[in-house]
Structure 1
Amino acid sequence: MMIVRGGFSIFTRTESFREFIRYYPIVSAIVAIHISLYLLTILPIFPNYWFFEHFSGVNLYIMEGEFWRLITPIFMHSGFSHMLFNSFSIVLFGPALERLLGGGRFLFIYLASGIIANVATFILEPLTYTHVGSSGAIFGLFGYYIAMIIFQKNRLSKENSQIIITLCVVSLIMTFIQPNINITAHLFGLLGGFFLGYVLKK
């Protein structure tokens, strides 16, 4: 078990680009997929809108059996700033968890949280609702951190726990202030990550 204690922030990145890829291969792969899919939606050599047509979360199509749309929206984004912000968030919050949990468990938490968020969106939002973005999965990481703070107090320092709680509260507030936000995905991604953190705490 890796214990992250001490007076330094676990969210401070000091690795070189090559070291980052070597230490955090799952986080690096997720960001690479974000960038690749974004480029496929803007470069004129591809049928750009095809990717949104087939990978976006569209509740009506999910109801008709296109269940891959519960997964693919996690990696799609609606524009450069959307992709950049979510990718930056994963680079900021993901590495510490990947080191704590290992690549396989980290990927499971990330994808499971995103899927929980998208299932909740499918159940609670109208059939016409369409969405993309990894925010539900990112909030799942927040939820997992909160579960660690509550149920595994020895794994994070007080300073790092305070940082996580503060950022989580600020992110939740912004969820209700910013326009065009999938509030359902944010809330249920957070709850899903917390639930997984409780179940997998041993």
Structure 2
Amino acid sequence: MFIRNENFRSFIHHYPIVTTILVIHFALWVIISFLPSGEQVLVLGVGSNYDVHNGEYWRVLTPIFLHSSFGHMLFNSFSFILFGPALEKMLGKFTFLCTYLLSGIFANIGTYFVAPINYYHLGSSSAIFGLFGIYLYMVIYRKDLIDRMNAQIVISILVIGLVMTFFRANVNIYAHIFGLLGGLALAPIVLRNAKRFY
């Protein structure tokens, strides 16, 4: 389920939504890091509670695709490569994309309501924690969709992710928690007709 043995071309063919989002991650990082317009892209896209309060509502979506450094982008992209493909196959392309985006949006809306007005944030981990929420729901309520070994992997990674959430600096704790809750809330809807594919 989580072991990737496809070659590059096969991965792109089987997981077009995951691939497209990964390309967006990388392209935006390149733009922000190397192009003169990069700073403006970052300023316009970063999550900002103050600016959302003033009507810039796109900022509950755009932070999902932006990262603060190459390491940040690489770590989140690796997590997405690990946990995204199985759900893309299980849910279908459109449902997977909607689930990913809605989890991230829910996380950023939660951040807006709970974090200080001058709070800034960015990163795809908000949406990735939404995927963890889907898997956690499977482990608890839909054991027909996930075997014991993969369930143990999910629980282990989730525990590590939550520990890192609270003990690493510069982590949007609110987005991780609300992303996880968003995934859990969406899971019974998006998994209603899901079947194990592996």
Q: What range describes the TM-score normalised by the shorter chain of this pair?
A: over 0.9
2:123 maps to 133
Q: Among 140, 158, 165, which residue is 1:150 paired with?
A: 140
Partner of 2:2: 11
- Equivalent of residue 169 in structure 2, options 164, 179, 188: 179
Partner AA of 2:168 in structure 1: Q
In structure 2, what is the equivalent of residue 69 of structure 1? 59
1:47 pairs with one of 37, 42, 52: 37
Determine the structure 2 residue equivalent to 1:35: 26
Partner letter of residue 201 of structure 1? L
Aligned to 1:106: 96
Q: Deviations over 1:97-144 (max 9, x none)?
A: 111111111111110100010000000111110111011100000000
Q: CA deviation at 1:199?
A: 3.2
- Find the counterpart in structure 1 of residue 86 from structure 2: 96
SS at match of 1:123: helix
The answer to whether the 8 A contact 2:47-2:59 is kept is yes
Structure 2 residue aligned with 1:196: 186
Pick aligned residue for 1:169 from 159, 181, 190: 159
CA contact (8 A) 2:91 2:190 kept: no
Find the residue that maps to 2:116 and give its secondary structure: coil
1:152, distance to aligned residue in structure 2 (A): 1.3
Letter in 2 for 1:89: S
The alignment-based identity, stated in percent, is: 48
Contact 2:64–2:122 (CA<8 Å) still a contact in 1?
yes
What are the superposed Cα offsets for residues 74-94 of structure 1, whole Å, 9 maximum, x if unpaired?
000001000010011100110
May I ask how many residue pairs the two structures share in their alignment? 192
Tell me, in whole angstroms, the C-alpha distance in 2 between the residues paired with 1:70 and 1:96.
26
Q: 3-state DSSP class of the match of 2:191?
A: coil
Q: Is the 8 A contact 1:151 1:201 kept in 2?
A: no
Paired residues of 1:57 and 1:131 also in contact (CA < 8 A): yes
Gaps (5+ residues) in structure 2? 193-198
Superposed CA deviations along residues 129-184 of structure 1, whole A, max 9, x for unmatched, are 01110111000000001111222111111111111111111111111111000000
TM-superposed CA distance for 1:198, in Å, is: 2.4
